[in-house]
Amino acid sequence: MNTTALAAPAVLAQHQPGLLDGLRCIFVRDLRLALRRRTDTLAVLVFFVRGVSLFPLGVGPEPQLLRSMAPGVVWGAALLASMLSLARLFADDHQDGTLEQMLLSAHPLALLVLGKTAAHWVCSGLLLALLSPVLAIQFDLSASAAGVLALSLLLGTPVLSLVGAMGAALTVGLRGAGVLLSLLVLPLCIPVLIFGAGAVDAHSAGLGVAGHFSLLGALLVLSLFAAPLVAALALRISVES
């Protein structure tokens, strides 16, 4: 009996890539590309810091006014900052032919989209959330309010990246994709902005924040399931058309 022939299927089974391997590979690949293009990540952070810091300078040193406007200002700046790099989420892959290879891959396209979106969030939303407590000092927010703000951003910014991935997939390869992307995505992100800023307002008023966090969590779960599927379908339509 040929033992080599019997061992071959077992060896192939061991080396057969799993479903999550594609997600991990595309996630690591995009993180490495982001490290090579540090200026893109730095531009997002600089825009966020400048956008937030201009408001205390413009409205004056009134503590009560600054505390009341802080959640909306930080969340609005985070939303706009996350839009800066979304236009390139699939554009570079579309130009160099990587997107066509993703469409022909044995891995589900939705998982590959999820991996790219996760890398985008790490390079934008996660950094913005970690930076927000420092910026909250300018608005005279308490330590607990700054913590609530950071937690709301940690829950909400992944939704911004997931919803943005759908818009980026719909506009890939189009002229003026950045402007069109903003028009498509910004209205869909308004609920996240409202619930995220509302959590900080509720905490400052002495109310519970569990309801706001629950709604943000529900939006995150819904986006995790729906956004990659919609973005994958949009990519197939954009490439084949």
pLDDT band at 14 (very low <50, low <70, confident <90, very high): very low
Q: Which residues of 70-100 are buried (b: 16+ CB within 10 A; e: fewer)?
A: bbbbbbbbbbebbbbbbbbbbbebbeeeebe
pLDDT at 1 over 70: no
Domain ranges of the chain: 17-240
The string of pLDDT tens digits covering residues 66-115 is 898 999 999 999 999 988 888 888 888 888 888 888 888 888 889 999 99
pLDDT at 117: 94
Rounded-to-integer distance, Cα 158 and Cα 9, Å? 40
CB 102 within 8 A of CB 109: yes
Question: What is this structure's pTM?
Answer: 0.87
pLDDT at 90: 86
**pLDDT over 70, % of the chain:** 91
pLDDT band at 52 (very low <50, low <70, confident <90, very high): very high
The string of pLDDT tens digits covering residues 124-165 is 999 999 999 999 999 989 999 999 999 999 999 999 999 999
